[in-house]
Amino acid sequence: MSSFRRLLGYMANYRGLVILAIISNILTALFTVVSVPILKPFLDILFESVPVVTEAPEAIRNAADFEQFAGFHISSWITEFGKETALAYVCILILASFFFKNLFRYLALFFMSPVRNGIIRDLRNALYDHLLRLPLSYFSEERKGNLLSRITADVQEVEASILNVLESIFREPFIIVGTLGMMIFISPQLTLFVFGLMIFTGVVIGGIGKQLKRSSGLVQEKLGEIVSRTEESLGGLRIIKSFGAEDYQSGKFAQLNDGYRRQLIRLLWRRDLSSPLTEFLGIATVALLLWYGSRQVFSGAMEASTFISFIFAFYLVIDPAKKLSKAWYNVQKGLGAMERVDAILDITNPLADGYQKTKTAQTQDAMHVGLAVEDLSFRYTPDGPPVLQNISFHLTKGKVVALAGASGGGKSTIADLLPRFYDPTAGRITLDGQDLRDLPLKVVRDRFGIVSQEAILFNDSIYNNIVFGLEGVTEAQVHEAARIANAHDFIIASPEGYQTNIGDRGSKLSGGQRQRLTIARAILRNPDILILDEATSALDSESERLVQDALQKLMSGRTALVIAHRLSTIQQADEILVLDQGRIIERGNHAELLALEGAYEKLVRLQEV
């Protein structure tokens, strides 16, 4: 039940509304219970069996005192106003009790509505925020579609299965307890008989509830696989069509979808069994109660009006019990989805642990010395192959270091390690002499501006994509960054200028235009360290020349790490590191490396630089 406790923990944000809802539910239960004893005087008048009572009891301590109290007032009304008027008074009391019962029932729903929807909002916000803060290594192991399913389908299932029945959870127990108390007051013997039957019913219902929880988890897993398959297919639609694999993909999707159908049918069979099973057990209990109670009346141990009042009280228990039973089924079903959400929320971020444990590092406004990589080694998984081995170099402030080499050499991995997207397996990276792991993540990442090989843009305006994540930026600064990146001209030529929406992932722009926007974004950030991972690979020759010139001016006085397969873009670097299979095999400037006539010279010759 830890998942349910976590869910209820979100109620702390809505404490006032929850208290008002609980008070309303208590009052609902109170007026529900009050309606039971009012029925007996009505039946006594109707059956003309009202005893003549001449004095009221001093206090109501038991059922006999209550009967004396009610009998005294009924006798007084009949004597003074007549039987029909007394009957009307009793009807008014019954009507008033049901009016207030339903009024407070509505108020309970009224107060719980913002609580229920607020909790689901908070849960979805917490899940989204947590996903954004998890390390990249987590997403390399998880399917994106499965994560999308958890933040959409699973959270929605929690809302539909658990939060929608919170009213029942907070209301029905009060009604059941209050009515059972009245039943005990009327006839302890009959109540004990009924209670034994209800225990048997609860055991049967509880067993089905456990099966529902297990089945619900499997259903949500299957749905996650469907969402994941759909997301992958839409993302790779061009490849699917070019290979004529539509039928193949449809077949795999149909297989997944049919598995989901079978699992859902089993779940619905169990869930739908709850209502008829509960109703049958309830009717069986009523039949046994009628048989047992009738024997009590025939033997003279109980009055007929008292027995009918008890039946009415029991009827008032059945409906809340059914709702509570249904709520229990739904909670069990929803907990399967909540546990999938909890599985993500419970994941700790290892990248933040170092700073949280030490908090001894001193932070400063700007970088003074530079960044150093010391004997760095890295594996993506503990038992995986080494990706980097014994890498050491310095990024002195104001210098440009370039990484060259064949694909798979580890260049992009180094670029990912510097801003702590991953932590090294061995060795360390220091910023002005401080280990990055001893600094807050935000402090580390604020030092970097990254232009990746793939232009990552969002479905928003050009202006917002350039400003992305920054505050206090002026329009003039945005325009200047766009000019340096050679993007201003095509932006102002767009239909709405800087406010033009670029579509999903910048689909309305060409590859070169998208890359220039990401360069403008990095320029505007004005970081201490620039990481350019194939930053000019998507540009045509003229744009590349203009942007490369702008980047050279931008990198003046700033540390930069440049990765490129096109070696013409890194000839002016202060130092070039040539990597092969995770090791540095050559290092030096462009002229020095050419003089070695080694791997770098071979790459240059192949590219005919």
Given this model, what pLDDT does residue 356 score?
46
For residue 448, what pLDDT band results from cuts at 50, 70 and 90? confident
14 and 153 share one domain: yes
Q: CA-CA distance, 130 to 376, in Å (whole number)?
A: 29
- State how many domains the chain has: 2
Given this model, what pLDDT does residue 107 score?
92
Q: CA-CA distance, 554 to 460, in Å (whole number)?
A: 26
Tens digits of per-residue pLDDT, 221-264? 777 777 777 777 776 766 676 667 778 788 888 888 888 888 88
Q: What is the CA radius of gyration of the chain?
A: 37
Residue 377 has pLDDT above 90, yes or no: yes
CA 108 from chain centre, in angstroms, equals 26
334 and 409 share one domain: no
Residue 525 placed within a domain: yes
365 and 343 share one domain: no
In sequence order, which residues have a C-beta less than 8 Å from that of residue 1 and are 6 or more positions away? Answer: 335
Tens digits of per-residue pLDDT, 546-603? 666 666 666 666 788 988 777 777 887 889 999 998 999 999 998 888 888 888 888 8
Residue 317 has pLDDT above 80, yes or no: no
A 10 A CB-CB count for 400 gives 23
340 and 377 share one domain: no
3-state secondary structure of 487: coil
Given this model, what pLDDT does residue 47 score?
55
Residue 238 placed within a domain: yes
Q: What's the Cα-to-Cα distance from 526 to each of 449, 470, 547, 554, 560, rounded to whole Å?
A: 7, 11, 16, 9, 12
DSSP-derived letter for residue 99 is H
- Nearest residue to 500 (alpha-carbon basis) of 487, 486, 515: 487
Q: In terms of residue numbers, what domain contains 375? A: 360-607
Residue 482 has pLDDT above 50, yes or no: yes
Q: Is 168 within 8 Å of 324 (Cβ atoms)? A: yes
Provide the residue count of the chain. 609
Strands 559-563 and 529-533: parallel
Average pLDDT over the chain reads 78
Which burial class, exposed, middle or buried, applies to 50 when counting CB atoms under 10 A from its CB (0-12, 13-18, 19+)? Answer: buried
Residue 352 placed within a domain: no
The enclosing domain of 316 has a CATH number of: 1.20.1560.10
Residue 353 placed within a domain: no
438 and 312 share one domain: no
Answer positive or negative: Cα dihedral of 501, 505, 507, 509.
positive
334 and 379 share one domain: no
431 and 528 share one domain: yes
Residue 23 has pLDDT above 70, yes or no: yes
Tens digits of per-residue pLDDT, 88-100? 777 788 788 889 9
DSSP H or E run through 158:
helix 155-161
Q: Is 341 within 8 Å of 150 (Cβ atoms)? A: yes
Instruction: Name residue 518's beta-bridge partners.
Output: none
Domain boundary among 319, 347, 375: 347
342 and 403 share one domain: no
For the full predicted model, state whether its pTM sits above 0.75: no
Domain boundary among 347, 376, 395: 347
Domain boundary among 347, 379, 405: 347
Tens digits of per-residue pLDDT, 394-439? 998 888 899 988 888 888 899 889 988 888 999 999 988 899 888 8
Given this model, what pLDDT does residue 357 score?
47
Number of H helices, E strands in the chain: 22, 10
DSSP H or E run through 63:
helix 63-81
